[in-house]
Amino acid sequence: MPPSVQPGFEIVDFTKLEPQSCPCGFARRAFQANSDFPGTVHLTDITQDARTHYHRRLTETYYILECEPDARLQLDDQQLPIAPGMAILIRPGTRHRAIGRMKILNIVFPKFDPTDEWFD
């Protein structure tokens, strides 16, 4: 189902978006086709330990909606405990992965580009 577009605003129902496979699990991506919005917003279900990766151009902000009690994020060589309500800014070049099951809102600038996922 297409998003609801009105003059001045747009509404996306994430439950209606088709999940896309990603290195972390599954992401529902909003605003990819909008030429007047410079980023994308993803509702991501991390279902397994993600593969360590990085982006050369993309900046991601993870907002933790829910997670297992022992969930962590690996950012370069550090593993940091996370909890619902936390936001983590991940700049280009930072190697990262999620450890444990979690649901996040991922805000990506510029728009998400699957060709900008790099693995060591």
pLDDT at residue 1, rounded to an integer: 45
Whole-angstrom Cα distance, residue 91 to residue 62?
A: 11
pLDDT at residue 4, rounded to an integer: 67
User: Measured on CA atoms in the order 36, 27, 60, 119, is the torsion positive or negative?
Assistant: negative
Whole-structure pTM value: 0.91
Q: Where are the domains of the chain?
A: 24-44+76-112
Cβ count near 13 (within 10 Å) = 11
List the pLDDT tens digit at each of the 120 positions of the chain.
455 666 789 999 999 999 999 888 999 999 999 889 999 999 999 987 788 999 999 999 999 999 999 999 999 999 999 999 999 999 999 999 999 999 999 999 999 999 999 998
DSSP code for 80:
E
